[in-house]
Amino acid sequence: MSLREAAVSRTFIQGMPKAELHIHIEGSLEPELMFEIAGRNGVSLRYASVEEARRAYDFSDLQSFLDLYYEGMQVLLNERDFYDLTWAYLQRASAQNVRHAEIFFDPQAHTDRGVPFETVITGIRRALEDGEQQLGISSELIMCFLRHLSAEAAMETLHSSLPFWKWIVAVGLDSSEVGHPPEDFKAVFDEARKHGLLTVAHAGEEGPPEYIWQALDDLKVARIDHGVRCVEDPKLVERLREEQIPLTVCPLSNVKLRVFDSIQDHDLKRMLDLGLCVTVNSDDPAYFGGYIDENFEAAREGLGLSRDDIYRLVKNSFQASFLSAAKKQRLLRELDDYFASRLTGRLR
Ligand code: HPA
Ligand code: ZN
C-alpha cells in the first residue's frame, strides 16, 4: 500500500485529533442505554428488544426520524439520565480522538414533558465537566429551539434559561424545517445575541436555499447546520465562500433521511471543491449508523476523499469552533503534527 493510501486508512482517521460541531445529545441515545434507563425509570417502550428498536430506524425523511427521536428521549427523566447519556457520548467521542465537541440539546423536548430545565442542563453539564477532566475533551453547549413550536415558546425558553447562560455558548434552531422558516425566530435570536450568546441554525437540510439566506441575514448565525441545499443557488454559494461561513455537514444523516440517495451522491466533495468551509459531523449517531469517524470513513470511501480533503475538513472544524484563538492554534498545531508525523513516519 502506498503512503498516500495508508494516510487515509480507518486507523488514520481514528487517530486524527478532531472537533465535532453538530451533535444532538439526545440523538446519541443508543437503544441499549434507552432500555437501561427505561427499566430503572419504569417507562415502557414500544420495542420488545434493542434489535427491534434498531430495525425501526429506517427513515423516509426528517419527520419520520423526528417522530422516533422524540419518542426515544421520553425515557430521560432524572439528572442521572442526562448525565449517563452525555457521558456515553463523550466516551465514544474520546475513543475517536474528538478533542472538542459543541453539543446541541433540545430543552423544550423535556420541559414540555414536565422535566425541569435545571435537571436537563445540570446532568449534561456534570458529564461535560467530567469529560474535560477525565477524557481531556473540551466542550460547549448549544441550546436549540424547536422550530415546529412557536417563537413565543422559544422566547420563554430563552428567558427561563437565564440562570444557566454561563454554561451555554450559543442558541440554535432545529426540528421540522419545511414550513418553519428562520425569519419566524428573528426576535428570539436578536434577544439571545443582545445577551452575548452566539447563534447557529439548521437550514438547507430539507428546506430551500432561502432559509439559509434568512439564517444569515435575520438570525446572524456564525455557522449553518447542514446547509447542503446551498448548491442550488450560485449567489448563496458565493456569499458562503466569500465569508467562509462554516457548514456543519452530516453525511450519514443526509443519506439516512434521504436528502441524498446514497453516499456516492452526496455533495460534500463538490462543496469542498467550491471553496466552502465544510465540516463533517454525526448529527444523531445512535439513529444514523455512526459517530464522527464512521461519517469520515463513509465520505472518504463513497466520495474518494483525498488526504488533503480530510485535512481541510478537520482544519475547518477547529477554525469554525467557538474555541478561543489560543486553543484553536494549539489544536491546529496538533493536527499538523499528526499529519506530518504520519507522512514522515516519525511517530509509529
Ligand atoms: N434536523 C433537524 N432537527 C434535528 C435533527 C436534524 O438533523 N436532529 C435532531 N433534531
Ligand atoms: Zn442536526
3-state secondary structure at position 114 = coil
226-269 pLDDT, tens digit each = 999 999 999 999 999 999 999 999 999 999 999 999 999 999 99
pLDDT at 8: 79
Residues 6 or more apart whose CB falls under 8 angstroms from that of 138 comprise 99, 100, 101, 132, 323, 327
Residue to probe by mutation, ligand 1, list 284, 287, 288, 295, most atoms within 8 Å of CB? 284
pLDDT at 2: 47
Residue 28: CB within 6 Å of ligand 1?
no
**Per-chain mean pLDDT for the chain:** 96
Q: Is the pLDDT of residue 334 over 80?
A: yes
How large is the C-alpha radius of gyration of the chain? 19
Q: Is the pLDDT of residue 301 over 70?
A: yes
pLDDT at 46: 96
CB half-sphere exposure, 319, CA atoms < 13 A: 14
pLDDT band at 344 (very low <50, low <70, confident <90, very high): low
pLDDT at 343: 72
24-35 pLDDT, tens digit each = 999 999 999 999
C-alpha cell at 289: 449508523
Residue 342: CB within 6 Å of ligand 1?
no
Residue to probe by mutation, ligand 1, list 63, 143, 283, most atoms within 8 Å of CB? 283
pLDDT at 346: 45
Total length of the chain: 348
Residue 257 CA: nearest ligand 1 atom is 7
pLDDT band at 6 (very low <50, low <70, confident <90, very high): very low
200-229 pLDDT, tens digit each = 999 999 999 999 999 999 999 999 999 999
Structural domains for the chain: 3-343 (3.20.20.140)
Residue of 30, 79, 102, 205 marked catalytic: 205
> Average pLDDT of 148-162?
98
Residue 202: CB within 6 Å of ligand 1?
yes
Beta bridge partners of 199: 171
Residue 253: CB within 6 Å of ligand 1?
yes
> Average pLDDT of 310-318?
98
What's the CA-to-centroid distance between 255 and ligand 2, angstroms? 13
> Average pLDDT of 91-102?
98
Cα–chain center distance at 315: 17
Long-range contacts of 129-135 (CB under 8 A, 24+ apart): 130/87, 130/90, 131/86, 131/87, 131/90, 131/94, 135/90, 135/91, 135/94
> How far is 149 from 333, CA to CA, in rounded Å?
43
205 catalytic? Reply is yes
pLDDT at 342: 85
> Average pLDDT of 51-60?
98
pLDDT band at 182 (very low <50, low <70, confident <90, very high): very high
> Average pLDDT of 7-35?
95
Instruction: Tell the residue nearest (CA) to atom 2 of ligand 1.
Output: 175
Least confident interval from 55-64, 234-243, 325-334, 337-346: 337-346
